[in-house]
Amino acid sequence: MADGDREALAELYDRHAAALFRHGLALAGSSADAEDLVQGVFVKLAGFGVRLLGIRCAGAYMHRMLRTAFLEGVRHRGVAAEVPLDTLDVAAGTGAEEADRLALETALGGLPAEQREVIVLHSVQGLTFREIAGMTGVSMWTIASRYRLGLERLRGMLGTR
């Protein structure tokens, strides 16, 4: 990619875009915001030029770029909006199950972004705390702590419904 090769950019996209999109979704909640975050990462990376040669682990680097972009956006906007998590609209069997799913998505949207990030990446995507720590650059203990606090908060929110 440092040679200005568009094929390399396409290959990088194919390899990392899906995981980045899910990470963006875990942070931002909405698909539209996650798309913007992913696009922002690739556009910025393409403009890096020779600095690309100094990047050792592209995957982890891009996840951190995405995370930084999101947190900077939140800082500029002030308080992050509570957006229900965008999930795949699977054909729910019953109305109760559908309502249950919607309640869970809304509750997830009400969590602080950093807690939602860990909960979605761990429980929904099945990543380990170690993997999440590698992606975010945050220590594994902090990740575990955020998960526990987020889960407690989620249980509280759902328990009051």
Contacts (CB under 8 A) with other proteins, residues 67-86: 85-86
**Under the phi-then-psi rule, with left for phi > 0, alpha for psi from -120 to 50, and beta for the rest, what region is 90?**
beta
**Distance between CA atoms of residues 62 and 159, nearest Å:** 37
Which tokens in the block code for residue 53?
A: 């040669």
- Report the residue from 65, 104, 113, 140 that binds other proteins according to the rule CB under 8 A: 104
Reported residue count of the chain is 161
57 binds other proteins, rule: CB under 8 A: no
φ, ψ for residue 47, nearest 5 deg: -85, -5
Interface residue list for other proteins (CB under 8 A): 1-6, 9-10, 13-14, 17-18, 21-22, 25-26, 31, 35, 38-39, 42-43, 45-50, 52-54, 85-88, 90, 96, 99-101, 104-105, 119-120, 123-126, 151, 154-155, 158-159, 161
